[in-house]
């Protein structure tokens, strides 16, 4: 059975078994004490080892003889180190540690000149002995004073080739009479723990024990290799252990062997229940427990999936430092829940008596409660841009994260152009064919966008004006913090801090405050004003959730998108920030659909370029989708996830994708397992998403995750999923390519080119969806002369062997796998990794990647002519006014390429398209040609909505056992393909007709056609006339013209109209009427003709009514 079948038939083991266990929220009864939770290990050879260490130190001679025994006893007895450590270490390692600590003391005495020695004391040994003589012995025989007086930094003792290491560090300044934690820096080696061990994907997660000595501020961290039992042999990504076993503490099979030996049964139960909770929702589990036996002890527990965040250990320790708390013990344990899931649990003990009461602003429990809340913020963003002001306590943790997110928002949405650019544009008033002026304006705009208000400048401004940022944060918090009726908000530290701040009462007070403290020509004004706009644009957010994986905001685009830059204001924007990415989702209608694109950057430089263009690219992609979707019920949308520099492998992109999706869902539904949020939009929203570059392999997960989160629309949430989930894979059935090919073939039909030899160039290779199917569907008259993809450039002016290309396309392999023996003497392949190679015509290629990136502008150096160019991949704006001259013949002024069908979205800028057409090119843009995939996705959504779960699973999807699809599914796929061809042919006919009659470039006619259909569609949606007052016509159209008969035969006409949501039925009806009318009657909507159109449909409805 399929996954969906399991759910329908009551078998929820695969995903919901964990929810069948009733897990207690209060786990305090399971935390006994640090001495009971972990059994005291009695190392019988400890005294013998101690004597061996003394002998070694005596032989080495670094420590005076009379101090050796004292130093050894102090190390063994006073630092809180348990016997397990001594049992694992050799005497030589212990001796090295003691020598290092002693050397640090001497260094501190000399550097800080803490103790003034009498004039007759001349040796360091005598001065040290004098100080020891002055020190008093405490009740346990431990000397006071001297061991507070040293400063040791960055000491790491590491065994090569293992995870075993010992880290020593103090963060005091060596002053014996100072306990001012405000002056102490955070422990620096915590970051090394993250980098070398916890976040290191090349090594398994180690076991960590950290001890803190209150007398000396010394922190010792011991790291050991983990050993796990042999895992059971299971298929897929199933867990190694059942929820019942976890709840009962039966966790030895997934635990480190040392933990299994040392941990009490209560501790194992506690860990097991945390592991169960980790699987319920994404994000960390954060709990506080009071030790039952030790009333002086409080325990904080944090559980999360490894590699879902970075630098979390050091970030959490910095949070303790901010609140001036000192954990006495810090354990890091890991558990192998499955082959793909390793869970880390932090177990942190704090003793009240070891804290500094005079410096704690409130009691320990209040501080811990605040840490419990803010640890989730640091999980989502462990590394932020305001560490300095955070460490100086000018920002609270929440304010620092708010400032970090705000600075990113400002960087992307600040109005860099302003009114001056608009005035310049109006003054110049360039014509569409004035490419020279348009190029100057474009370059000027690009310069303004890229070189003004940099991220560093924005960050510096917010740090400089941190008090204004704090006041704006209070405005944000007062608006969006959801207070539970049972919550005593006044008791929280964040509230007490905020209560000292006065928020801005209104915009007038905010502007007056700025004018009072900032010069009127300061660029800081616009930065701070944009941060205020951020506040005003937020309609809902998960910022205050205690469990989240990324921070999401629903923004009002009317407030933040100036019309001079964005002529059509979108319907909605989502803004998501995670630990490894920033993401956006833009949609142009309430009901809209589009893919999620993942953008990776190998280097910081590439990231900077991608970051500067991400909003414009997202907007343009969504706008293009809006144009493409003109004859579909959904409007256009697009999501973009931009990963941090260097994150390029699939595992990293998958984690970013999962966090993006989960954070979106946070503010699309009210999850009973999470807190409520303030919803200023006050309207249910549904997103329809799909695959795009980098995300095609992740849509199954997103579909299943939406179901797990309880989304009622999970079945239609994502298109492009596997057939076992009811999806229609675009690549398998060539859906996008069918649309592109329809335009190519209509050109051949119209211009009678079927018998002509067509020299063809293509970007996007045989490894991709569009590229592979374009090759496989190519006609016999087409001869490839150039093709490039992610691996490099393949070119042959004599023609590339098509059988070899089709072989690569069948196996989805890049052109780097092409059999080079099948090239002519003039043919070549250049890999992106090649350096300084010579091509057959004598050209020297210095850098293969650069050559690949610009080859589309250089191809005429290697081939005589190109008849047809079909971009099937590549970065947006690859052809623009700047490089347009590469495609224009200097002698004739004609386009060097006579026919272009733009399969890749946004490959050519709109001004460049118009310019190419003005030079004689016949060009069909992406919004027209690249419609096959969106049409397929729309009909995939319709099938999931039209059929109930039982019919959808058993009649549409069928059994997964024999891996075959149902007859209904196969017939439906065929109908989808026919629909793609029909729509493409209709649009081509109308575009060609208008172009030939008016001379208007096809690229502009395409935009006009899209806007005409969309405008009529919007008008029909806004009107209730047909929907409410002409039910006979409405149902006739839905059941005879719009909804595929294949689906109606399964569900029945009455039931199918009940299954599909009313809002979706409305846009189904309006989009059909609008597109059918415009395709038949042209872009000039005549009300008389429209009435005739409706009248004819009414007459048809009178003759045939199914309901």
Over 470-514, what HEC string results?
A: HHHHHHHHHHHCCCCCCCCHHHCHHHHHHCCCCCCCCHHHHHHHH
pLDDT in tens, 845-881: 999 999 999 999 999 999 999 999 999 999 889 999 9
pLDDT at 211 over 80: yes
pLDDT category at 112 given cuts 50, 70, 90 is: low
Confidence class of residue 400 from pLDDT cuts 50, 70 and 90?
A: very high
**DSSP string of 640-667, one letter each residue:** EEEEPTT--SHHHHHHHHHHHHHHHHHT
Q: Is pLDDT of 4 > 60?
A: no
Most confident of 3-7, 123-127, 1067-1071: 1067-1071
End-to-end CA distance of the chain: give it in Å, rounded.
35
What H or E segment, with its residue span, contains residue 10? none
* Residue-wise pLDDT tens digits, 560-569: 999 888 989 9
Secondary-structure percent of the chain, ordered helix, strand, coil, rounded to 5: 50, 15, 35
Instruction: State residue 16's pLDDT score.
Output: 37
Identify the pLDDT of residue 104.
Answer: 83
The predicted pLDDT at position 496 comes to 66
| Six token digits for residue 55 | 């002998």
CA distance 134 to 471: 52
From 719, 729, 925, 739, select the one nearest 812 (Cα to Cα): 729
Among 144-148, 330-334, 393-397, 786-790, the minimum mean pLDDT is found in 144-148
Q: Is 235 exposed, middle or buried (0-12, 13-18, 19+ CB in 10 A)?
A: exposed
Asked if residues 695 and 656 have their Cβ atoms less than 8 Å apart, the reply is no
Burial of 126 (0-12, 13-18, 19+ CB in 10 A): middle
Stretch 1024-1032: mean pLDDT:
88
How does pLDDT run across 253-310, given as a tens digit for each residue?
999 999 999 999 999 999 999 999 999 889 999 999 989 999 889 999 999 999 999 9
Confidence (pLDDT) at 563: 87
- Mean pLDDT across 128-157: 51
Mean pLDDT of 349-354: 89
The CATH code for residues 542-708 is: 3.40.50.10860
pLDDT score, position 433: 67
| Distance of alpha carbon 585 from alpha carbon 625, whole angstroms | 13
The whole-number pLDDT of residue 676 equals 93
What value does the mean pLDDT of the chain take? Answer: 88
What are the distances in angstroms from CA 987 to CA 870, 995, 1082, 1094? 18, 12, 10, 21
Mean per-residue pLDDT, 486-493: 58
Residue 934 confidence class, pLDDT cut points 50, 70, 90: very high
Binned at pLDDT 50, 70 and 90, residue 25 comes out as: very low
∠ CA 619-621-623, rounded to 5°: 65
At residue 357, the pLDDT reads 66
Contact (CB, 8 A) for 211 and 228 = no
> What is the C-alpha to C-alpha distance for residues 171 and 221, in angstroms, rounded to an integer?
14
pLDDT in tens, 676-721: 999 999 999 999 999 888 898 899 999 999 999 999 889 899 998 8
| Contact predicate 873/856, CB 8 Å | no
Contact 348, 300 (CB under 8 A): yes
Who contacts 932 (Cβ-Cβ below 8 Å, separation ≥6)? 730, 734, 735, 736, 737, 738, 739, 740, 742, 980, 984
pLDDT in tens, 67-111: 999 999 999 988 878 888 899 899 999 999 999 888 888 887 777
Q: Bigger pLDDT: 407 or 421?
A: 407
Contacts of 1101 (CB under 8 A, 6+ apart): 1032, 1033, 1036, 1037
388 belongs to the catalytic site: no
The answer on pLDDT for 139 being more than 50 is: no
Q: In this predicted structure, which of 390-394, 513-517, 956-960, 1026-1030 has the lowest mean pLDDT?
A: 956-960
The average pLDDT across 511-532 equals: 95
Q: Would you say residue 649 has pLDDT above 60?
A: yes
Model pLDDT, residue 133: 45
pLDDT tens-digit profile of 28-79? 688 888 889 998 888 999 999 999 999 999 999 999 999 999 999 999 988 8
Report pLDDT for 360.
Answer: 56
Q: Report phi then psi at 337, rounded to 5.
A: -70, -35
The answer, yes or no, to whether residue 1079 has pLDDT greater than 80, is yes
Q: What is the DSSP letter of 38?
A: B
- pTM (2 d.p.): 0.85
Catalytic residue among 638, 721, 746, 896, which? 638
Backbone angles phi, psi at 107, to 5 degrees: -60, -40
Decide which of 558 and 173 is more confident: 558
Parse the chain into domains and list their residue ranges: 24-37+195-383, 384-416+452-538, 542-708, 726-736+942-954+964-1107
* Residue 963 pLDDT level (bands cut at 50, 70, 90): low
pLDDT at 451: 77
890 burial via Cβ count (<10 Å: 0-12, 13-18, 19+): exposed
Q: Are 294 and 38 in contact (CB under 8 A)?
A: no
Q: Are 58 and 13 in contact (CB under 8 A)?
A: no
DSSP single-letter state for residue 9: T
pLDDT range class, residue 138, cuts 50, 70, 90 = very low
DSSP collapsed to 3 states, 776-806: HHCCCCEEEEEEEECCEEEECCCCCCHHHHH
Q: Supply φ then ψ for residue 386, to 5 degrees.
A: -125, 40
Residue range 534-538: mean pLDDT, rounded = 98
* Tokens 């997110």, residue located: 405
1031-1073: pLDDT as tens digits: 999 999 999 999 999 999 999 999 999 999 999 999 999 999 9
Q: Is the pLDDT of residue 809 over 50?
A: yes
Contact 633, 1068 (CB under 8 A): yes
Under the banding of pLDDT at 50, 70 and 90, the label for residue 962 is low
pLDDT-derived band at 498 (thresholds 50, 70, 90) equals low
């Amino acid at each position: 059975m399929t996954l969906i079948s399991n759910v329908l038939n009551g078998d929820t083991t695969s995903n919901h078994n964990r929810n069948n266990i009733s897990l207690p929220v209060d786990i305090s009864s399971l935390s006994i004490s640090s001495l009971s939770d972990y059994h005291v290990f009695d190392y019988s050879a400890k005294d013998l080892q101690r004597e061996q260490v003394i002998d070694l130190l005596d032989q080495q001679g670094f420590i005076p003889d009379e101090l050796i025994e004292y130093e050894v006893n102090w190390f063994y007895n006073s630092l809180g180190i348990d016997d397990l450590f001594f049992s694992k270490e050799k005497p030589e390692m212990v001796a090295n540690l003691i020598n290092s600590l002693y050397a640090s003391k001497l260094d501190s005495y000399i550097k800080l000149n803490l103790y003034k020695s009498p004039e007759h004391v001349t040796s360091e040994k005598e001065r040290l002995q004098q100080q020891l003589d002055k020190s008093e012995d405490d009740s346990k025989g431990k000397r006071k004073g001297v061991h507070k007086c040293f400063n040791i930094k960055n000491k790491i003792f590491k065994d090569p080739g293992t995870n075993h290491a010992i880290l020593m560090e103090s963060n005091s300044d060596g002053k014996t009479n100072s306990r001012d934690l405000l002056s102490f820096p955070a422990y620096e080696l915590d970051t090394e723990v993250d980098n070398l061990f916890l976040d290191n994907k090349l090594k398994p997660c180690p076991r960590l024990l950290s001890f803190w000595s209150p007398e000396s501020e010394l922190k010792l961290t011991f790291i050991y290799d983990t050993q796990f039992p042999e895992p059971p042999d299971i298929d897929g990504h199933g867990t190694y252990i059942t929820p019942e076993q976890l709840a009962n503490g039966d966790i030895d099979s997934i635990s480190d062997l040392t933990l299994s030996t040392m941990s009490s049964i209560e501790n194992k139960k506690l860990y097991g229940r945390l592991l169960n909770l980790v699987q319920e929702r994404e994000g960390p589990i954060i709990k506080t427990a009071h030790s039952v036996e030790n009333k002086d002890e409080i325990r904080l527990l944090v559980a999360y999936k490894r590699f879902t965040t970075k630098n979390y250990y050091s970030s959490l320790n910095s949070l303790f430092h901010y609140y001036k708390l000192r954990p006495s013990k810090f354990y890091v344990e890991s558990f192998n829940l499955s082959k793909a899931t390793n869970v880390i649990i932090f177990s942190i003990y704090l003793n009240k008596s070891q804290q500094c009461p005079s410096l704690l602003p409130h009691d320990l429990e209040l501080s811990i409660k605040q840490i419990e809340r803010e640890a989730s913020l640091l999980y989502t963003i462990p590394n932020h841009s305001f560490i300095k002001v955070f460490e100086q306590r000018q920002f609270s943790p929440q304010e620092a994260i708010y400032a970090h997110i705000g600075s990113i928002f400002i960087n992307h949405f600040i109005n860099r152009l302003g009114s001056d650019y608009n005035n310049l544009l109006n003054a110049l008033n360039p014509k569409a064919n004035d490419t020279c002026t348009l190029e100057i304006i474009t370059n000027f705009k690009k310069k303004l966008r890229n070189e003004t208000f940099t991220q560093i400048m924005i960050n510096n401004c917010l740090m400089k004006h941190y008090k204004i940022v704090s006041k704006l944060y209070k405005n944000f918090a007062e608006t969006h913090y959801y207070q539970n009726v049972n919550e005593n908000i006044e008791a929280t530290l964040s509230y007490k801090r905020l209560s000292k701040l006065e928020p801005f009462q209104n915009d007038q007070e905010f502007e007056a405050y700025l004018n009072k403290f900032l010069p009127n020509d300061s660029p800081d004004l616009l930065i701070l004003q944009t941060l205020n706009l951020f506040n005003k644009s937020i309609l809902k957010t998960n910022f205050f959730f205690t469990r989240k994986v990324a921070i999401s905001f629903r923004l009002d685009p009317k407030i933040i998108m100036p019309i001079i830059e964005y002529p059509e204001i979108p319907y909605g924007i989502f803004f998501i920030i995670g630990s490894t990415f920033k993401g956006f989702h833009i949609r142009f209608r309430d009901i809209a659909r589009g893919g999620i694109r993942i953008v990776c950057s190998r280097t910081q430089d590439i990231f900077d370029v991608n970051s500067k263009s991400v909003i414009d690219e997202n907007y343009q992609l969504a706008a293009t989708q809006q144009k493409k979707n003109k004859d579909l019920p959904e409007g256009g949308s697009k999501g973009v996830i931009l990963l941090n520099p260097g994150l390029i492998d699939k595992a990293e992109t998958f984690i970013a994708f999962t966090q993006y999706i989960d954070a979106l869902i946070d503010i699309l539904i009210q999850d009973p397992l999470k807190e409520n949020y303030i919803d200023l939009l006050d309207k249910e929203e549904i997103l329809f998403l799909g695959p795009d570059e980098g995300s095609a392999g992740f849509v199954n997960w997103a579909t299943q995750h939406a179901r797990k989160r309880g989304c009622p629309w999970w079945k239609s949430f994502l298109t492009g999923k596997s057939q076992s989930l009811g999806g229609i894979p675009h690549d398998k059935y060539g859906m996008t390519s069918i649309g592109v090919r329809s335009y190519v073939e209509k050109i051949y039909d119209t211009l009678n080119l079927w018998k002509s030899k067509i020299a063809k160039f293509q970007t996007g290779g045989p490894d991709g969806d569009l590229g592979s199917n374009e090759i496989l569907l190519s006609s016999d008259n087409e001869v490839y002369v150039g093709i490039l993809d992610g691996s490099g450039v393949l070119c042959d002016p004599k023609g590339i062997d098509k059988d070899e290309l089709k072989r690569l396309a069948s196996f989805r392999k890049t052109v780097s796998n092409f059999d080079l023996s099948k090239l002519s003497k003039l043919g070549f392949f250049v890999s992106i990794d090649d350096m300084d190679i010579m091509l057959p015509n004598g050209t020297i290629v210095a850098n293969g990647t650069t050559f690949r990136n610009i080859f589309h502008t250089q191809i005429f150096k290697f081939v005589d002519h190109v008849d047809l160019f079909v971009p099937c991949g590549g970065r947006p704006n690859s052809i623009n006014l700047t490089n347009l001259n590469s495609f224009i013949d200097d002698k004739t002024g004609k386009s060097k390429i006579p026919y272009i069908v733009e399969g890749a979205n946004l490959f050519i800028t709109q001004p460049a398209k118009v310019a190419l057409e003005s030079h004689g090119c016949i060009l069909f843009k992406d919004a027209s040609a690249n419609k096959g995939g969106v049409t397929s996705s729309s009909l995939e959504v319709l099938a999931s909505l039209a059929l109930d779960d039982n019919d959808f699973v058993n009649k549409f999807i069928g059994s997964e056992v024999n891996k075959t699809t149902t007859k209904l599914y196969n017939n439906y796929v065929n109908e989808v393909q026919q629909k793609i061809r029909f729509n493409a042919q209709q649009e081509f006919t109308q575009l060609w007709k208008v172009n030939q009659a008016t001379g208007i470039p096809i690229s502009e006619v395409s935009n006009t056609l899209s806007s005409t259909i969309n405008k009529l569609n919007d008008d029909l949606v806004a009107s209730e006339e047909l929907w409410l007052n002409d039910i006979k016509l409405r149902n006739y159209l839905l059941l005879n013209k719009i909804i595929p008969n294949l689906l109606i035969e399964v569900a029945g006409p009455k039931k199918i109209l009940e299954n599909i949501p009313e809002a979706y039925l409305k846009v189904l009806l309006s989009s059909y009427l609008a597109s059918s009318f415009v395709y038949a009657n042209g872009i000039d909507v005549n009300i008389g003709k429209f009435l005739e159109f409706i009248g004819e449909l009414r007459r048809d409805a009178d003759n045939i009514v199914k309901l």
